[in-house]
Amino acid sequence: MTDTAPPGWVPVEHRFLGLDRRTFAPALGVLAVALLLLYGLPALNAAIPWRSEIRAGDVLDLGDGATAVPPVGWQLEAGTLTGTGSVAPASLQVRLTTGGATIAVVGASFDGTADAFLDQVLRSEGGATGVDGSRGTVTTASGLVGVALASTGPTGDGLDVAFKMASAAGEAEGAPALLVRVRTTPGQFERRQEVVGTFLRSVTPGAVR
């Protein structure tokens, strides 16, 4: 008479809390590596400080010759300075941070005005157009005109400014769009207002440089 164990049968000497101890090695090995990647890397990342402080004279590359002057002392967490690489304006991602404030600059392809671009951004985030406040005009030192929308909420204050990066007024419709997004913790916006204003005024489209 042959004795064949039913499927899933675990001999008593291999059981631990109802599980088959012989399956522990691959399972725990996988779990250890997965947890290392899932939690170990973020923990290591959190332990390493940012060391990419903006120095006097640094200029941000916004692609196709467009530039902006970042605030000195802020950390450049994403983005490229002029002379250090090439940037595509339609996929631009810049992030500048300092205590309690962030400036994000995002580039996108968009046919239409700066105002329509800001509408599209708000629609994509589920917000009804213009609920946060009335829109204002921002004019940079190079003459570029943007549309600004300020907002405030329990988590902090914000300012979104949309530009079309055209050097001549007639080219604005087809030019790449640029969104400058400022976020601060509550009560911080007033402290950073001047720095933010200086940054916005420094935005320069390519051909003017």
Partner 1 sequence: MTTFEARTAQLAAIEESGWGQPFRLVQPRNLAFWVYLLGVGGGALAVVRYFGPGAHFYRPALTGGVLLFGLYLVPWLLLLRHQNRYTAQPATLLAAAFAWGGLAATFWIALPANTALLEIWTKLGGTAFASDWAAGLTAPINEEFGKALGLVLLIGLAPRLVRGAYDGFIIGAFIGLGFQVFEDVLYVYNGAAQTFGTDQLGSSFQIFVLRGVAGIVSHALFSAIFCAGLMWVLGRTPGERNVPRGVLTMLAALVFHFAWDDMAGLSGGIGTVAVVLPFVIAAVELITLFYVLRHAARQERTWIRQLLRPEADAGVLDPALLGAVSGLRRDRKAFRKLVHGRRRARHLLEGASDLARELARSRGAETSEVAHARAELLRLRGGGQVPM
Kindly state whether residue 168 participates in binding partner 1, applying the rule CB under 8 A: no
Kindly state whether residue 185 participates in binding partner 1, applying the rule CB under 8 A: no
Kindly state whether residue 72 participates in binding partner 1, applying the rule CB under 8 A: no
Any idea what DSSP says for residue 102? Answer: E
> Residues 96, 54: contact at Cβ < 8 Å?
yes
Kindly state whether residue 146 participates in binding partner 1, applying the rule CB under 8 A: no
Which of 150, 138, 208 has the alpha carbon at shortest distance from 178? 138
Q: In the set 2, 4, 8, 56, which binds partner 1 (CB under 8 A)?
A: 8
Please give the Cα distance from 182 to 191 (Å, whole number). 13
Kindly state whether residue 4 participates in binding partner 1, applying the rule CB under 8 A: no
Please give the Cα distance from 145 to 190 (Å, whole number). 23
Q: What is the DSSP string of 13-45?
A: GGEETTEEGGGHHHHHHHHHHHHIIIIIHHHHH
Contact segment (CB under 8 A) with partner 1 among 63-71, 85-93, 137-145, 196-204 equals 85-93
- The pairing of strands 101-108 and 135-139 is unpaired
Q: In the set 78, 137, 143, 174, which binds partner 1 (CB under 8 A)?
A: 78
Kindly state whether residue 48 participates in binding partner 1, applying the rule CB under 8 A: yes
Q: Considering the complex, what minimum distance in angstroms separates the CB of residue 88 from partner 1?
A: 11
> Residues 38, 61: contact at Cβ < 8 Å?
no
Q: Which of residues 95-134 bind partner 1 (CB under 8 A)?
A: 106, 108-111, 117, 120-121, 123-124, 126
- In the beta sheet, which residues pair with residue 61? 67
Q: In the set 62, 68, 69, 76, which binds partner 1 (CB under 8 A)?
A: 76
Instruction: Give the footprint of partner 1 on this chain (CB under 8 A).
Output: 7-8, 10, 18-20, 23-31, 33-34, 37-38, 41-42, 44-45, 48-52, 76-81, 84-86, 90-91, 106, 108-111, 117, 120-121, 123-124, 126
